[in-house]
Amino acid sequence: MPGFYAKLRLSLRKEVLGLLCVKHSPASVSGCSYHHKLLVNILQANNFVNFLGNGYTLNATEIHVGCAPIHESVLFVDCLPTTVVSDYSRESCKYMGPSYIHLCCLCYKEAWDDYNRYLSDKKANEKEVWIVRQGIRKLIQAQDIHVGNIVWLRENDEVPCDLVLLGTQILRGFVMWRLMSYGLTGYESSNIPTAALDGETDLKTRLIPSACMGIDVELLHKIKGVIECPTPDKDIRRFDSNMRLFPPFLDNDVCPLTIKNTLLQSCYLRNTEWACGVAVYTGNETKLGMSRGVPEPKLTAVDAMIDKLTGAIFVFQIVVVIVLGIAGNVWKDTEARKLWYVRYPTEGPWYELLIIPLRFELLCSIMIPISIKVSLDLVKGLYAKFIDWDDQMVDVETETRSHAANTAISEDLGQVEYILTDKTGTLTENKMIFKRCCISGRFYGNENGDALTDVQLLNAVSSGSTDVIQFLKIMAICNTVIPVRSKSGDISYKAQSQDEEALVRAAARLHMAFVNKNGNILDISFNASLVRYEVLDILEFTSDRKRMSVVVKDCQSGKIFLLSKGADEAILPHAYAGQQIRTFAEAVEQYAQLGLRTLCLAWRELDHDEYQEWASMFKEANSTLVDREWRVAEVCQRLEHDFEILGVAAIEDRLQDGVPETIETLRKAGINFWMLTGDKQNTAIQIALSCNFVSPEPKGQLLMINGKTEDEVCRSLERVLLTMRITNSEPKDVAFVVDGWALEIALKHYRKAFTELAVLSRTAICCRVTPSQKAQLVELLKSCEYRTLAIGDGGNDVRMIQQADIGVGISGREGLQAARAADYSIGKFRFLRRLILVHGRYSYNRTAFLSQYSFYKSLLICFIQIFFSFISGVSGTSLFNSVSLMAYNVFYTSVPVLISVLDKDLSERTVMQHPQILFYCQAGRLLNPSTFAGWFGRSLFHAIVVFVISIHSYAFEKSEMEEVSMVALSGCIWLQAFVVALETNSFTILQHIAIWGNLVAFYVINWIVSALPSSGMYTIMFRLCKQPSYWITMILIVAAGMGPVLALKYFRYTYRSSKINILQQAERLGGPILSLGNIEPQPRSLEKDLSPLSISQPKGRNSVYEPLLSDSPNATRRSFGPGAPFDFFQPQSRLASSYTRNCKDN
């Protein structure tokens, strides 16, 4: 269970955090599971509820359980009864030295981080703020704010806790207004940037609740009332609450509150002279504080493999200890007691039989390298810095550099198998341009020009065509855009939706200009005349409703209108009876085939009585605390019907530069792509074709999965799976297309069949999907043990990004929310190619070498100790002294391997030109049990060479044991220097210094130690270096140890060279490689007998394909092609292999 230790680490850390920071939840006191009440400006009453204070603490104490088997072995060894063993073992505490150094390094790192957090907490807690207490304004520290206090802010002040806005003063010349969704009169607002919360850099408008409208500024400090709000949560987009002010301000009428009435912690007050609000959440219970949870740890495939290998070595270590322990006790009882100089007592203590096994446990404890955790952390940090420093991954337009927020998973970039990508803003520029439209059946704009330059449309506007004018009015009014007039008189538009901004700008170019917004009053300029509308209600867009509406009243005629825009499936079915919508549906399809985004525009006139009845229900729905969003949507649906469809607007969102080339390159690397978008099916397909997701016909083939019912989806899935079975043996590029409705049914009822389909196709196009469905698809692929990468740019991509093994966020026009939630952030999609092929591949190669070399050097010294025990009576005596053993892993062998972080087996240019070689990383060819067995065998062979030559050269020349020990240690250092040099692919001056300079440093250190009379090695190195036999021995060890390795490497390069070897030789010779052919070998662990294809039917439901798809042994079998039984796939693609990996089926 490779993920067990990561989960254990998370749970332990949460427990520690809970012990260090105990807080009382108001919900637990009030006894309500959903909400609690707080009194405004009545502090004493709130004190009885024991709300959390505003002191800010972030205890980050962490118990490290990463590389858990390594830590297990260390703890096991350190907990041995060393007082028992030390009577017979030489300085047994020497084995604990490296582990203690390692632990001290980790503790120092955590202590330094905690100290920096303490300084940050102290600075935030001691910031001074103004509050109102007992009717008097006081200056206090932020940590002393309590729930119910009224806090006063000035322009550019940081909000110290979560507040409900009570009053504000807007600076003249920059007034931004926004309407509440429940349709009361206009009211004042404040502007705040929320980048610290959601990464969006645009200013957000915050509103004063209607209950506080008209209250004099001098009376604000006397406001008293009660706020009923949810228990603290981290959802920064919801605050479904109510407020009641006590007389004389408001006679206990309920005033609904939403997130637009709040000022959240860490935001700043902009364009506002002052603002005041009541504190509702403080301390770690603010929205920001609740968001500071402990993230789920991500375990890379390399770390999982290292855990498995460590576990195997640990088992081998225990076996060796048991075998040698038994052999040692047998020799002691049969032979040792006969030797007078051994002096074993005739009767020993009760634990005598444990002494020798415990000695061997201490000797063998170095089989598992303690330094590997520190080494991996260090090199992984350097991998992240290489990404940050890469000048080829800088977006010149925005001057945005790539950034690695997670330093622990760089190797996974080189093992990515699936990329799930958003479309808008990720593949496209998210710069919306109004291109074409269809109004009342007439099409405007064509391939020669857009609709804004179409003469027919311009003439229709000039002639005052009723439908065209009404169409433009909806474009200008049905939105949440803010017009801002500059000092020069020019008008610019601030919008959170790029679609809305494109429509408003297009309407302005067609002389229907949105010029001013004063509260709920909109001024529309048309042909130099001003038309004024009052916005009564806004029915906001949601991903479920897929439309947005506004209720407006013509200030001149007094008529009330409902204006709507949205997706075709959300507008067209709600047309009034008798209206022909076929033309509009055809327009939607035509524009979608051009890759354009489409919006349908509609309207209807409302009767005053109908509106008043509906408005009361709408206000009531907005006042509910439970399921407010669902109740509001239900009430909205009661009004949005019987539309008169006016037309269709088509908006272009151009592809980013380099997107098709990037996708084509990564697909050549064997990576599969899934595009997840909320756009229409045809639009998604056209974008997919433009991006090279799938090849054009006849090589490419698209298979559609559609349906609104379970039967329809079942039949569609069956047809697609049958087609996939037939075409599986053909060299075709097959992709399937599924919409959100069919996807929901497939994941719920036919998950196994959908999973089977997913692993048989290289590409999937999922349209009209919701953010939750995106995350479900990531989880589906992860359940089949694929390495997934999710990339997006908006807030709706955050769940998908966090769910994936690797999350990549694009710093786009929708803000930085996705980038901040991701493991890596980049400026443009095209940088993903270099991130994976260069940084990911290099990181995997380097980590694979470093981890296996770390085991090699530890096994080498351990095997020598074991061999020495055979000539020392199997007594567990150590050949090496304590200083040498401690310095071996910490100093002598660490520097050369760390410098391997600069090694490159191929140049970056070659890697980018031949992406197929990424397969060797995806398949784990450089780190697996087979390669580890090679390093294990090398360490065993080198240990034999060092031990035999050292013993035969010095053991019979009346040399001291210390001299033999130093000769053996010197042989190890020499061998390892040549091993690192042999495995290094590209030498730099730093690598030469590290390898050969480390060898020189070994002698310098030992000369210094040998000069110390108290060291136990006095004059040993001086005597050895004077003897020619010592240097001859070193030459013999290197020759005997490296000769067979060089011969094996030559044989492999000459007769069994891989594609990488061919490229390396071509680079050295300077010749071009025109083609590598089909570099992709057979799928890993591909089994011929896969599970039968089946779709699980709900009870009582029959399928026309049931005989084909039944799991019953009596089911009919059909063959397609010669010798092709239906219930067994014979995939030629690597994709099908993962279905053998025990896909989980809900």
Helix and strand counts by DSSP (H, E) for the chain: 39, 34
Phi, psi dihedral angles at 333 (to 5 degrees): -75, -30
> Tell me, what's the pLDDT at 888?
84
**Percent over 70 (pLDDT), the chain:** 77
| Residue 486 banded pLDDT, cuts 50, 70, 90 | confident
Better pLDDT: 216 or 491: 491
In the predicted structure, residue 1063 carries a pLDDT above the cut 60:
yes
Mean pLDDT of 651-658: 90
User: Hey, what are 81's tokens?
Assistant: 């009864």
Mean pLDDT of 491-509: 88
Answer yes or no: are the C-beta atoms of 946 and 979 closer than 8 Å.
no
Mean pLDDT of 670-674: 93
Mean pLDDT of 208-215: 78
Residues for the chain: how many in total? 1146
What span, in angstroms and rounded, lies between the C-alpha atoms of 1080 and 750? 32
> Tell me, what's the pLDDT at 329?
85
Answer yes or no: are the C-beta atoms of 547 and 513 closer than 8 Å.
no
> Tell me, what's the pLDDT at 647?
95
In the predicted structure, residue 587 carries a pLDDT above the cut 60:
yes
Lowest mean pLDDT among 235-249, 270-284, 763-777, 950-964: 950-964
In the predicted structure, residue 937 carries a pLDDT above the cut 90:
yes
| Residue 235 banded pLDDT, cuts 50, 70, 90 | confident
> Tell me, what's the pLDDT at 768?
87
> Tell me, what's the pLDDT at 270?
77
Burial class (CB in 10 A: 0-12, 13-18, 19+), 651: buried
Mean pLDDT of 289-301: 73
> Tell me, what's the pLDDT at 444?
93
In the predicted structure, residue 1057 carries a pLDDT above the cut 80:
yes
Average pLDDT, the chain: 79
> Tell me, what's the pLDDT at 620?
86
List residues forming the annotated binding site: 422-424, 500, 541, 565, 597, 677-679, 768, 774, 793, 796-797
Amino acid at residue number 590: Q
> Tell me, what's the pLDDT at 183?
29
What span, in angstroms and rounded, lies between the C-alpha atoms of 151 and 164? 10
Better pLDDT: 699 or 166: 166
Mean pLDDT of 577-587: 91
List residues forming the annotated binding site for Mg(2+): 422, 424, 793, 797
Peptide bond into 369 cis (omega under 30): no
Rounded to the nearest 10 degrees, what angle do helices 68-78 and 372-389 cross at? 150
> Tell me, what's the pLDDT at 598?
92
Answer yes or no: are the C-beta atoms of 915 and 668 closer than 8 Å.
yes
Burial class (CB in 10 A: 0-12, 13-18, 19+), 251: exposed
> Tell me, what's the pLDDT at 429?
86
* pLDDT tens string 323-371: 999 988 888 878 766 676 666 666 666 667 888 888 888 888 888 887 7
- 627 labelled catalytic: no
In the predicted structure, residue 986 carries a pLDDT above the cut 90:
no
Answer yes or no: are the C-beta atoms of 514 and 552 closer than 8 Å.
no
150-154: strand order across its sheet:
136-141, 128-133, 150-154, 272-281, 162-170, 262-263
In the predicted structure, residue 930 carries a pLDDT above the cut 60:
yes
> Tell me, what's the pLDDT at 954?
72
∠ CA 775-777-778, nearest 5°, is: 65
Better pLDDT: 109 or 302: 302
Question: How is 807-820 classified by DSSP, letter by letter?
Answer: EEEE-BTTBSHHHH
Residues contacting residue 155 through CB under 8 Å, at least 6 positions apart: 171, 269, 270, 271, 272, 273, 274
> Tell me, what's the pLDDT at 1120?
29
* pLDDT tens string 80-108: 544 444 443 444 455 555 666 666 766 77
Long-range contacts of 715-722 (CB under 8 A, 24+ apart): 715/1103, 715/1104, 715/1105, 716/742, 717/746, 717/750, 717/753, 717/754, 717/757, 717/1095, 718/753, 718/1095, 718/1103, 718/1105, 718/1108, 718/1109, 720/757, 721/753, 721/756, 721/757, 721/1093, 722/1105, 722/1108, 722/1120
Peptide bond into 896 cis (omega under 30): no
Q: Which of 162, 198, 307, 422 is an active site residue? A: 422
| Residue 7 banded pLDDT, cuts 50, 70, 90 | very low
| Residue 322 banded pLDDT, cuts 50, 70, 90 | very high
In the predicted structure, residue 186 carries a pLDDT above the cut 50:
no
In the predicted structure, residue 933 carries a pLDDT above the cut 50:
yes
Question: How is 1121-1146 classified by DSSP, letter by letter?
Answer: STT--TT-----SGGGGGGGTT----
Lowest mean pLDDT among 78-82, 232-236, 594-598: 78-82
Answer yes or no: are the C-beta atoms of 374 and 358 closer than 8 Å.
no
Q: Which residue has the tokens 């061919």?
A: 1062
Answer yes or no: are the C-beta atoms of 887 and 973 closer than 8 Å.
no
Domains of the chain: 1-297 (2.70.150.10), 430-652 (3.40.1110.10), 844-1069 (no CATH)
In the predicted structure, residue 817 carries a pLDDT above the cut 50:
yes
User: Hey, what are 144's tokens?
Assistant: 């002393």
Question: How far from the centroid of its chain's Cα atoms is residue 916's Cα?
Answer: 25
* pLDDT tens string 759-805: 888 899 999 888 889 999 999 999 998 999 999 988 788 889 989 99
In the predicted structure, residue 13 carries a pLDDT above the cut 50:
no
What span, in angstroms and rounded, lies between the C-alpha atoms of 589 and 568? 10
Lowest mean pLDDT among 89-98, 597-606, 708-717, 860-869: 89-98
Lowest mean pLDDT among 38-47, 78-87, 148-157: 78-87
> Tell me, what's the pLDDT at 488?
80
**Percent over 90 (pLDDT), the chain:** 34
